[in-house]
Structure 1
Amino acid sequence: MTTVKDVCRHVRSKNAGPYWVTFDLFFDGPESFEKHHANPALGPQLFQRLFGADPALVRHYPVADLNVVKISYARTSPQGGVVERDMHCGQQFVRLLDVRLD
């Protein structure tokens, strides 16, 4: 059973403006990147299940030269709104670490 934390040397999440959240998955090498960056387990349904994101608004940006994939989704409410729990989204990545890629 391979998880995100097994194949990524660093995973981070951050605010991408008042309406978007972005995740950067830094794979531990080109082999891991090629094998896992387009894995359906990291697809829109995951972000819908974990964060309530609209699957139609999940964006996937692979950067092969850096062995990184950036995944962004539209927030369900604007940054700083009444329901905000992590204004800068710096802790959101934790939910991805144990996602199974097998």
Structure 2
Amino acid sequence: MTKLYEGAKLIRSKNAGPFAITFDIIFPSHEQFKKIASCHALAVEHVAALLGVPLDKIKRYDLPLANAIKFSIVRKYPAGDFLDDDLYGCQEHRFLVNLDVPDEVRV
């Protein structure tokens, strides 16, 4: 198995307003994007389980012109709430960085 960060150009998470966090996975080539986009490792069900969010609180967007896959999740608590532990949402991608993907998707 290969780690997602080994095939991606950029993996990040960020605030998408007070009630959402977005995750961007950008690939260096369209070939790499096509391979990983069809891989089970980044299926909505798998990523939802990895992030600990219900399926109705996550959406996946494939952006082939940008060689990117984007996930958006509803935050557990609004940004800045007393119980919110990541105001900017910039630490949430840590679960995706070491995600195992099949070796054959790596270019």
Return the TM-score normalized by structure 2: 0.84
2:71 corresponds in structure 1 to: 71
Tell whether the 8 Å contact from 1:44 to 1:56 is kept in structure 2 after alignment: no
Instruction: Provide the secondary structure at the position in 1 that maps to 2:2.
Output: coil
2:21 corresponds in structure 1 to: 21
Tell whether the 8 Å contact from 1:54 to 1:74 is kept in structure 2 after alignment: no
Name structure 2 gaps, 5 residues minimum. Answer: 103-107
More displaced 10-residue stretch of structure 1: 33-42 or 18-27: 33-42
Are 1:93 and 2:90 matched, yes or no? no
Tell whether the 8 Å contact from 2:37 to 2:69 is kept in structure 1 after alignment: yes
1:61 corresponds in structure 2 to: 61
**Which whole-Å CA distance do the structure 1 matches of 2:55 and 2:44 have between them?**
5
Q: Please identify runs of 4+ aligned residues in structure 1 that moved more than 6 A.
A: none
**Which whole-Å CA distance do the structure 2 matches of 1:43 and 1:74 have between them?**
17
State the percentage of identical aligned residues: 29
Are 1:43 and 2:43 matched, yes or no? yes
**Which whole-Å CA distance do the structure 2 matches of 1:42 and 1:62 have between them?**
11
Tell whether the 8 Å contact from 2:27 to 2:33 is kept in structure 1 after alignment: yes
**Which whole-Å CA distance do the structure 2 matches of 1:11 and 1:77 have between them?**
23
Name structure 1 gaps, 5 residues minimum. Answer: none
**Which whole-Å CA distance do the structure 1 matches of 2:47 and 2:36 have between them?**
16
**Which whole-Å CA distance do the structure 1 matches of 2:89 and 2:35 have between them?**
27
**Which whole-Å CA distance do the structure 2 matches of 1:2 and 1:62 have between them?**
21
Calculate the aligned-residue CA RMSD, in Å: 1.5
2:11 corresponds in structure 1 to: 11
* Cα deviation, residue 3, structure 1: 1.7
**Size of the alignment, in residue pairs?**
102
**Which whole-Å CA distance do the structure 1 matches of 2:76 and 2:39 have between them?**
24
What are the Cα deviations for residues 62-101 of structure 1, in whole angstroms up to 9, with x where unaligned? Answer: 1101101111111112111122111001121122111011
